[in-house]
């Protein structure tokens, strides 16, 4: 059994306390399946490292139901999209053959797929029967001459957020600092918590290139193992998805003295501020001070161009009300982005956000806006059907609540089709929001069917008051 | 006699199968007012929820007992009871379908016993809600097994036992998990054409078939009604579709004496003929004109389509019943099924096919065996293999998440077979290369 004490304490002390306390006090647990587990959180954070083989030590469902389902993009290797699992069977679990199978799987993967490294993820069942993946990984690293990294985040340990942190801990304990780069420079930075969804980091990277800032490691979006392993030689770190990897940034600051800040590439001013702060931190750490001047010049050009391009959408979006239902980073960085164009936020969920996130959101929002820990589906539905919002921005799990309520919806989560980062991305986000709200289908959809129109006329004529409902059951 | 080869490698690479709890949960989703609940940790349900949502483009009322570390250590019985009672008070579902995950099954909790004890002690509190247990650990079987287990459990739990007066027009239909929403609707309409009244269990067409409810519904929107399940015993006949449904059909027969007819597949002219003859026999009615017209259309499609499919080498990866359905379909059109990979090797369905070899394994096995074939037939995850092999992909099965309208594709009876012929032929036509001096298809280079 993987005990609480065997998990890396530094990074998880607080959430684990919460778990234990929660149980003692009979805290009601969430029955809805929308929230992921710790394994989910760990895999999400690490999987986009694209030249690594991600091996899930589990019975089928953990990996079988969740592989190749995120929109992160890689500019090179496709190995991360290949799914590896030990697919444990009943007999193997009963007979205690699961550790042997794991070792065999590592051996096969090394032989057939030549990965830069293998990440081995523990899950509930092997953790419960006592498989020691840390020891297996240690000996496999020696035996197969390849980094084999244990990621110890079985699902029952807690929520997705905890898994995010455990993933950061795994990188800190086993990967970062294991390779010395030969090409360190004063303008090297790390970006933590950027997933490169739909390739959106590629909208930001040219800006950094223009300024001569080199991304030593972007973790995890489009990352390579060696970049992560040598990330400790960067001069500054920007943390993008604040709740996911901020603990890693803190630890890297402690051990390697890399200063960090939390920022966002969402929104025009968000992107500009991020560029300023990157330049500022680098200068403080020895970069040439003219970097900031060049950054300001670039910002001014880019901002002007973006605002000009946004002008055509302003009239169509001013005063439109947005219901934001998403966790973590997107809540606060997108809020800012949308306010810039004159939209209003009527409610937002802050479930996965940290306390700092919440403070930031409160600052930028009007008082009447509601902050929810999580919004129950029924509540979400009635808000939307009640005409209290013109669009919902959320992830795929709540997509159909909006669509069934016949309210425009835009995906801002991991499966989204568009890149929203940077100045270009902001224009894209606003354009997509505009297109969603002004799509002609909405008026057509809300028109009653011919037979209902007829009925409405009848009701008016005969003064009937009985409301008519389409029966939910079709057929018989 | 077909030889079944199982995979020998330790790592499963690019999984072909979906897990058993998912199949069980999906079966419960075809029951009216139901809530499937996966007894396991948060992720067991949330991954499934996302996958089902992407496949059906619908809200999925899947719940979880959200076992954490401490519950895992101490045992999940209390948690399960608490979850059932909370759901009952909050949502008042007509059916709660418990699907067990590997996590609780590895603990070897006596869930059936605990449930029985709990139901005995809380009769009043649970009145109006059926609690059904499907034991579906994901360390065994795949989607079909979970589906079959859940349907059998529903019948055993809800259907009134004993012989009942038979209703000469009532047909119990037990469709396998490989049938689409369109298939179920077509099945219902076809049976009704003969003046018969089908009760389809489970019926995903009424819950995940593109329904926009007028109010928020926390359970399934529709599906087979509990009352209909209760009175299945008065059916004159049961029609089971797919070998996976033998177990539920046997359960119904054992409990109520309703005899069943099992169809391995309803795709293809011969199978459709057999099905229509059965309906004609039960109803003593002649096949209506519209059905005869569909049969002729299928004949015509076979005439027009066989040019494109004949001699083509097909690689198929799927659950056993769908695998058999498509092997029969393609071989029936003169194509050669060069590679067949099944998710599991246990199904009796596999014994019925006219191939020498079936492999059990994953998409990696399929990809390696499929080099040089003309068409890859599997679910959306086959897209990587199709890209690497430069072979077109016909998306069939679960999950299909990168094409729309998958549930509204018909695959059975005259009309569905006609549509399949056109789809397969069109995919093959679209990927044909124009002749060039270097690459004419010389028969000298080809094996017969």
- Contacts with A441 (C-beta within 8 Å, 6 or more apart), sequence order: none
- Strand partners for B58: none
pLDDT at residue A2, rounded to an integer: 41
Of residues A156, A159, A469, nearest to B214 (C-beta): A469
Select from B215, B362, B381 the Cβ nearest to the Cβ of A68. B381
The beta-carbon contacts of A135-142 under 8 Å, at least 24 apart in sequence, are A136/A99, A136/A102, A136/A103, A136/A106, A140/A103, A140/A106, A140/A107
Mean pLDDT, residues A285-289 taken together: 90
Residue whose C-alpha is closest to residue B226's, from B96, B60, B119: B96
Query: Does the pLDDT at position A196 exceed 70?
Result: yes
Q: Quick check: A476 pLDDT over 60? A: no
pLDDT tier, A367 (very low <50, low <70, confident <90, very high otherwise)? low
Which H or E run includes A422? helix A422-437
Quick check: helix, strand or coil at residue A121?
A: strand
Instruction: State the Cα–Cα distance between residues B236 and B398, nearest whole angstrom.
Output: 33
User: What pLDDT score does B215 carry?
Assistant: 86
Question: B80 pLDDT exceeds 60?
Answer: yes
- In 3D space, the residue among B355, B351, B353, B349 whose CA is nearest the CA of residue B369 turns out to be B355
Alpha carbon separation from A25 to A28, A230, A271, A326, B89 (Å, rounded): 9, 44, 43, 28, 21
* First and final C-alpha spacing in chain B: 22
Asked whether A407 and A424 are in contact (CB, 8 A), the reply is no
pLDDT tier at B228, thresholds 50, 70, 90 = very high
User: Which ranges of B40-177 does DSSP label H, i.e. alpha helix?
Assistant: 42-56, 69-74, 77-91, 102-107, 111-121, 143-158
CB pairs under 8 A between A and B: 233
pLDDT of residue A475: 36
- Name the pLDDT band for A469 (thresholds 50, 70, 90): very low
Q: Which residues of A touch B9 (CB under 8 A)?
A: 105, 108
Q: For residue A130, is the peptide bond before it cis, meaning its omega torsion is within 30 degrees of 0?
A: no
**What is the helix (H) or strand (E) element at residue A90, kind and residue range?**
helix A90-95
Percent of all residues in chain B with a pLDDT value above 70, rounded to a whole number: 98
Shortest Cα–Cα distance, A234 to chain B (Å): 35
Percent above pLDDT 70 for chain A: 80
Distance from C-alpha of A160 to C-alpha of A34, rounded to nearest angstrom: 11
Does the pLDDT value for residue B196 go beyond 80?
A: yes
pLDDT at B396 > cutoff 60: yes
Contacting residues of B for A160, CB less than 8 Å apart: 42
Which residue from A21, A67, A29, A42 is spatially nearest to B64, judged by alpha carbons? A29
Alpha-carbon gap, residue B205 to B200, rounded angstroms: 10
Residue of A nearest to B59 (CA): A400
CB contact under 8 A, B401 and A69: yes
pLDDT band at A258 (very low <50, low <70, confident <90, very high): very high
Q: Which of the two residues, B137 and A71, has the higher pLDDT score?
A: B137
Instruction: Kindly report the number of other CB atoms within 10 A of residue A284's CB atom.
Output: 12
pLDDT of residue A259 exceeding 50: yes
User: Taking the CA atoms of chain B, what radius of gyration do you get in angstroms?
Assistant: 23
pLDDT at A465: 45
How far is A160 from chain B, CA to nearest CA, in Å? 9
Are the beta carbons of B229 and B203 closer than 8 angstroms?
Answer: no
Mean pLDDT, range B315-326, rounded to an integer: 97
Cα four-point dihedral sign A251, A253, A257, A258:
positive
| Nearest partner of A294 among A285, A283, A286, A305, judged by Cα | A283
Reported as a pLDDT band with limits 50, 70 and 90, residue A417 is confident
User: pLDDT tens for residues B199-211?
Assistant: 999 999 999 999 9
**Class of the CATH domain delimited by A188-307:** alpha beta
- Residue A366, CB-side half-sphere exposure with 13 Å CA sphere: 11
For chain A positions 91-120, those within 8 Å of chain B (CB to CB) are 92-93, 101-102, 104-105, 107-109
A356 has a pLDDT exceeding 70: no
Q: How far apart are CA B48 and CA B38, in angstroms?
A: 9
The answer, yes or no, to whether residue A116 has pLDDT greater than 90, is yes
- What's the mean per-residue pLDDT of chain B? 93
Q: Which of B277, B146, B62 is nearest to A30 (CA)?
A: B62
Q: pLDDT tens digits for A377-386? A: 888 888 888 8
How far is the C-alpha of B384 from the C-alpha of B8, rounded, in Å? Answer: 22
The nearest alpha carbon in chain A to B398 belongs to A65
pLDDT score recorded for residue A25: 42
Of the partner residues A33, A64, A377, the one whose CB lies closest to the CB of residue B18:
A64
Q: Which value does ipTM take for this structure?
A: 0.90
In this prediction, residues A441-453 reach a mean pLDDT of 87
Tell me A27's DSSP state.
Answer: P
- Give which of B266, B273, B263 is closest to B243, Cα–Cα: B263
User: In whole angstroms, what is the distance from residue B385 CA to residue B392 CA?
Assistant: 10
Same fold, A4-174 and A308-444: yes
Q: What average pLDDT score do residues A379-395 get?
A: 87
Contact yes or no for A40 and B47 at CB 8 A: yes
Q: Please say whether the beta carbons of B261 and B238 come within 8 A.
A: yes
Distance CA A40, CA A444 (A): 40
Please indicate if any CB of chain B lies within 8 Å of the CB of A145. no
A42 touching B, CB under 8 A? no
pLDDT of res. B335: 96
DSSP string, A429-444: HHHHHHHHHT-THHHH
Q: Of the candidates B14, B41, B142, which has its C-beta nearest A83's C-beta?
A: B14
Taking 50 as the threshold, does the pLDDT of residue B397 lie above it? yes
Band (A15; pLDDT cuts 50, 70, 90): very low
Please determine whether the domains at B167-290 and B301-430 fall in the same fold group of CATH: yes
CA-based nearest residue in chain A for residue B361: A87
pLDDT at A368: 54
> What are the chain B neighbours of A31 within 8 Å (beta carbons)?
37, 63-66, 83, 86-87
Residues of chain B contacting A476 with CB distance shorter than 8 Å: 197
Q: How confident is the model at residue B76 (pLDDT cuts 50, 70, 90)?
A: confident
If one counts every other C-beta atom within 10 angstroms of the C-beta of residue A301, the result is: 12
Could you report the per-residue pLDDT of A129-187, keeping only the tens digit for each?
999 999 999 999 999 999 999 999 999 998 888 999 999 999 999 999 999 999 899 99
B131-147 confidence digits (pLDDT tens): 999 999 988 889 999 99
Across the interface, whether the CB atoms of A156 and B71 are under 8 A apart is answered: yes
Can you give the pLDDT at residue A350? 65
- A36 interfacial to chain B (CB closer than 8 Å): yes
Q: Is B44's CB within 8 Å of A37's CB?
A: yes
CATH topology of domain B20-158: Rossmann fold (3.40.50)
Fold of B301-430: Rossmann fold (3.40.50)
In Å, how far from its chain's centre is CA B219? 21
A-interface mutation test, from B9, B10, B222, most A Cβ less than 10 A away: B10
Residues in A touching B384 (Cβ below 8 Å): 68, 78, 81-82
d(CA B325, CA B320): 9
CATH node for B167-290: 3.40.50.1980
Q: What is the pLDDT at residue A364?
A: 64
**CB pair distance less than 8 Å for B15 and A63:** yes
Q: Alpha-carbon distance A194 to A244, whole Å? A: 10
Partner-chain contact A108 B11, CB within 8 Å = yes
DSSP string over A232-268: GG-SEEEESSHHHHHHHHHHHHHHH---EEE--SSSH
B327 to chain A, minimum CA–CA distance in Å? 24
Report whether B143 contacts B240 (CB < 8 A): no
Mean pLDDT (chain A) is 84
Question: What per-residue confidence (pLDDT) applies to A21?
Answer: 35
Q: What are the beta bridge partners of residue B357? A: B3
A6 or B415: which leads in pLDDT:
B415
Which of B57, B68, B215 lies closest to A19 in CB terms? B68
| pLDDT score at B442 | 58
Q: For residue A6, is pLDDT > 90?
A: no
Q: Assess A325–B contact: CB distance below 8 Å, yes or no.
A: no
Q: How confident is the model at residue B21 (pLDDT cuts 50, 70, 90)?
A: very high
Burial of A304 per CB tally in 10 Å (0-12, 13-18, 19+): exposed
CB contact at 8 A, B68 and B103: no
> Could you tell me the residue ranges of all domains in chain B?
20-158, 167-290, 301-430
Cβ neighbours of B79 in A, within 8 Å: 29
The rounded Cα A93 to chain-centroid distance in angstroms is 33
Domain ranges, ordered by start, for chain A: 4-174, 188-307, 308-444
- Cα B62 to chain centroid distance, Å, stands at 18
Say if residue A109's pLDDT is above 80: yes
Question: Average pLDDT, stretch A365-375?
Answer: 64
- Determine if residue A276 is left, alpha or beta; phi over 0 gives left, psi from -120 to 50 gives alpha, anything else beta: alpha
Q: Is the pLDDT of residue A336 over 80?
A: no
**Looking at residue B86, what is its pLDDT?**
92
| Contact between residue B176 and residue B242 where contact means Cβ atoms under 8 Å apart | yes
Which of A3, A30, A32, A33 has the most B C-beta neighbours within 10 Å, making it the best mutation to test the interface with B? A33
For residues B421-431, average pLDDT: 95
Residue A5 binned pLDDT confidence (cut-offs 50, 70, 90): very low
Q: Which residues of B touch A40 (CB under 8 A)?
A: 42-43, 46-47
- Residue A36: closest CA among A138, A162, A121: A162
Task: Rounding to the nearest 10 degrees, give the CA dihedral for residues B267, B273, B277, B278.
Answer: -20
Is the omega angle on the peptide bond into residue B202 within 30 degrees of 0, that is, cis?
Answer: yes
B212 vs A404: CB contact, 8 Å cut-off?
yes
Residue B172 CA to residue B196 CA, distance in Å, equals: 10
Tell me if chain B has a CB within 8 Å of the CB of A297. no
pLDDT at B96 over 60: yes
Q: Report yes or no: A248 at the B interface, CB cutoff 8 Å.
A: no
The answer to whether residue A60 neighbours chain B at the CB level (below 8 Å) is yes
With 50 as the cut, is the pLDDT of residue A60 above it? yes
* B78, pLDDT greater than 80: yes
* The pLDDT value given to residue A472: 43
Mean pLDDT of B49-77: 88
Element (H, E) at A457: helix A450-462
pLDDT digits (tens, 9 = 90+) for A298-315: 999 999 999 999 889 989
| SS3 assignment, position A34 | coil
> Which of B11, B22, B107 shows the shortest C-beta gap to A65?
B22
Q: Taking chain A, what is the end-to-end CA distance rounded to the nearest angstrom?
A: 51
Domain A308-444 indexed as CATH 3.40.50.12380? yes
Q: Is the peptide bond before A220 cis (omega within 30 degrees of 0)?
A: yes
- Residue B63 clears pLDDT 70, i.e. is over it: yes
Tell me how crowded residue A347 is: count the other CB atoms within 10 A of its CB: 22
Burial of A113 (0-12, 13-18, 19+ CB in 10 A): middle
Mean of the pLDDT values across residues B425-436? Answer: 86
CB B6 within 8 A of CB B360: yes
Selected residue with higher pLDDT from A257 and A9? A257
Contact (CB<8Å) A86/B11: yes
Q: How far is CA B380 from CA A398, B17, B179, B386, in A?
A: 22, 12, 17, 10
d(CA A359, CA A370): 13
Report residue A119's pLDDT band, with 50, 70 and 90 as the boundaries.
Answer: very high
Q: What is the CATH number of domain A4-174?
A: 3.40.50.1980
Closest CA of chain A from B46, distance in Å: 5
Q: What is the pLDDT of residue B1?
A: 76
Q: Chain B within 8 Å of A417 (Cβ-Cβ)? A: no
What's the average model confidence in pLDDT over A284-290? 91
Across the interface, of A31, A102, A382, the residue whose CB is closest to B63 is: A31
Bridge partners, residue A371, by sequence: A348
Residue of A94, A79, A43, A48 whose CA lies nearest to A64: A43
Query: Which among A67, A128, A473 has the least Cβ separation from residue B15?
Result: A67
* CB atoms A101 and B10 under 8 Å: yes
Confidence of residue A28 (pLDDT cuts 50, 70, 90): low
Tell whether A396 lies on the interface with B, counting CB pairs under 8 A.
Answer: yes
Q: How confident is the model at residue A452 (pLDDT cuts 50, 70, 90)?
A: confident
How far, in Å, CA of A277 to CA of A275, rounded?
6
């Amino acid at each position: 059994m993987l005990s609480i004490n065997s998990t890396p304490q530094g990074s998880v002390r607080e959430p684990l306390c919460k778990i234990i306390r929660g149980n003692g006090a009979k805290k009601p647990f969430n029955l809805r399946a929308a929230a992921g587990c710790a394994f989910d959180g760990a895999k999400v954070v690490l999987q986009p490292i694209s030249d690594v083989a991600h091996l899930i030590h589990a019975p089928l469902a953990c990996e079988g139901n969740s592989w190749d389902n995120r929109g992160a993009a890689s500019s090179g290797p496709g190995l991360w999209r290949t799914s590896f699992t030990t697919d444990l069977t009943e007999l193997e679990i009963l007979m205690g053959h699961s550790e042997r199978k794991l070792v065999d799987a590592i051996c096969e993967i090394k032989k057939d797929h030549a990965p830069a490294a293998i990440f081995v993820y523990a899950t509930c069942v092997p953790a419960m029967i006592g498989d020691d993946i840390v020891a297996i990984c240690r000996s496999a690293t020696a035996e197969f001459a390849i980094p084999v990294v244990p990621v110890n985040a079985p699902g029952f340990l807690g929520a997705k957020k905890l898994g995010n942190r455990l993933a950061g801990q795994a990188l800190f304990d086993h990967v970062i600092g294991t390779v010395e780069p030969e090409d360190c420079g004063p303008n090297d930075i790390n970006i933590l918590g950027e997933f490169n969804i739909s390739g959106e980091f590629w909208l930001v990277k040219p800006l950094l290139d223009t300024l001569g800032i080199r991304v030593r490691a972007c973790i995890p979006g489009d990352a390579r193992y060696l970049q992560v392993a040598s990330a400790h030689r960067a001069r500054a770190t920007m943390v993008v998805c604040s709740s996911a990897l901020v603990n890693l940034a803190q630890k890297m600051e402690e051990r390697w003295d890399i200063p960090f800040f939390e920022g966002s590439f969402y929104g025009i001013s968000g992107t500009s501020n991020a560029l300023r702060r990157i330049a500022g931190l680098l200068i403080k750490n020895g970069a040439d001070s003219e970097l900031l001047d060049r950054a300001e010049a670039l910002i001014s050009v880019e901002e002007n161009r973006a605002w000009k391009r946004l002008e055509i959408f302003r009239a169509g979006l001013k005063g439109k009300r947005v219901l934001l239902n998403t966790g973590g980073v997107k809540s606060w960085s997108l809020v800012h982005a949308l306010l810039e164009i004159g939209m209003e936020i009527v409610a937002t969920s802050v479930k996965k956000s940290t306390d700092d996130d919440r403070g930031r959101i409160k600052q930028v929002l009007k008082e009447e806006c509601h902050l929810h820990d999580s919004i129950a589906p029924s509540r979400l539905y009635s808000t939307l059907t009640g005409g209290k919002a013109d669009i919902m921005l959320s992830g795929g799990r709540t997509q159909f609540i909006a669509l069934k309520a016949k309210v425009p919806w835009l995906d801002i989560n991991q499966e989204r089709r568009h890149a929203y980062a940077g100045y270009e991305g902001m224009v894209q986000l606003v354009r997509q929001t505009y297109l969603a709200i002004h799509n002609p289908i909405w008026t057509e959809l809300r028109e009653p069917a011919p037979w209902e129109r007829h009925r409405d006329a009848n009701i008016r004529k005969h003064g009937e008051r009985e409301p008519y409902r389409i029966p939910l059951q079709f057929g018989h | 006699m077909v030889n079944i080869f199982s995979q020998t490698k330790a790592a499963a690479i690019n999984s072909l199968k979906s897990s058993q709890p998912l199949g069980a949960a999906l079966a419960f989703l075809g029951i009216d007012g139901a809530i499937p609940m996966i007894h396991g940790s948060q992720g067991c349900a949330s991954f499934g929820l996302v996958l089902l949502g992407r496949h059906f483009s619908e809200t999925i009322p899947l719940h979880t007992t959200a076992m954490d570390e401490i519950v895992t250590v101490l045992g999940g019985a209390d948690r399960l009871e608490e979850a059932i009672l909370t759901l009952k008070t909050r949502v008042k579902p007509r059916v709660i379908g418990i699907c067990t995950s590997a996590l609780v099954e590895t603990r070897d909790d006596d869930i059936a016993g605990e449930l029985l004890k709990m139901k005995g002690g809380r009769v009043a509190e649970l009145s109006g809600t059926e609690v059904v247990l499907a034991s579906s650990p994901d360390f065994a079987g795949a989607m079909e097994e979970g589906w079959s287990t859940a349907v059998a459990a529903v019948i055993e739990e809800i259907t009134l036992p004993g012989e009942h007066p038979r209703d000469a027009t009532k047909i119990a239909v037990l469709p396998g998990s490989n049938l689409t929403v369109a298939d179920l609707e077509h099945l219902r309409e076809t049976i009704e054409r003969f003046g018969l009244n089908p009760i389809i269990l489970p019926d995903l067409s009424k819950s995940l078939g593109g329904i926009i409810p007028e109010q928020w519904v926390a359970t399934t929107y529709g599906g087979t009604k509990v009352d209909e399940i209760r009175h299945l015993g008065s059916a004159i006949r049961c029609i089971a579709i797919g070998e996976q449904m033998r177990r539920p059909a046997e359960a119904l027969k054992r409990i109520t004496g309703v005899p069943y007819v099992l169809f391995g597949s309803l795709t293809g002219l011969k199978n459709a003929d057999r099905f229509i003859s059965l309906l004609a026999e039960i109803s003593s009615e002649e096949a209506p004109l519209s059905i005869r017209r569909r049969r002729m259309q299928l004949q015509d499609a076979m005439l027009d389509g066989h040019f494109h499919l004949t001699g083509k080498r097909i690689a198929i990866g799927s659950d056993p019943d769908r695998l058999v359905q498509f092997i029969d379909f393609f071989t029936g059109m003169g194509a050669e099924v060069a590679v067949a990979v099944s998710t599991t090797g246990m199904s009796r369905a596999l014994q019925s096919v006219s191939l020498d070899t079936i492999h059990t394994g994953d998409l990696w096995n399929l990809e390696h065996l499929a080099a040089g074939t003309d068409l890859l037939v599997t679910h959306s995850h086959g897209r990587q293999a199709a890209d690497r092999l430069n072979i077109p992909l016909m998306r069939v099965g679960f999950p299909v998440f990168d094409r729309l309208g998958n549930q509204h594709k018909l695959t059975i009876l005259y009309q569905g077979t006609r549509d399949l012929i056109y789809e397969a032929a069109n995919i093959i036509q679209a990927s044909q290369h124009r002749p060039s001096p270097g690459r004419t298809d010389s028969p000298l280079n080809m094996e017969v």
